[in-house]
Amino acid sequence: MSAYQQSRSTMGSRAGEKSYFDQQREALMGEIAMSFEHVLANLNKLNRSLEAINTVGNEFSSVEALWSQFEAVMAKEPEEPSKAEEKDEDASAERHVKTEEGER
């Protein structure tokens, strides 16, 4: 047998069995694949949680709109009373003063 054939036969027998490096690489690749599966599962859980939070938040949109309207109404400054309203207020004030004088 020549030296070439001997080296081929030893390489062939080594090809069937894996080296320590290949074994470790496969083990690490398996761990990485499992870690990626866990990450994917956790991302899916996170996505479902965020969707649930968004849904709950959307349920409050009508309440928020109502409070916004209330705030807008309360933030308006009172309008200047019109001339007719001023006359009505003056007349009622005069009546009030007269009734107080009449009671004395």
Length of the chain: 104
Write down the pTM of the prediction.
0.47
Domain segments of the chain: what residues? 3-59
Cα–Cα distance measured from residue 9 to residue 20, given in angstroms and rounded to the nearest whole number: 20
Per DSSP, 3 falls in state: H
CB 81 within 8 A of CB 89: yes
pLDDT in tens, 74-85: 988 777 656 656
Is residue 85 within a helix (H) or strand (E), and if so which, with residue range? helix 83-103
Q: Phi/psi zone of residue 17: left (φ > 0), alpha (ψ -120 to 50 degrees), beta?
A: beta
pLDDT in tens, 10-30: 554 555 789 999 999 999 999
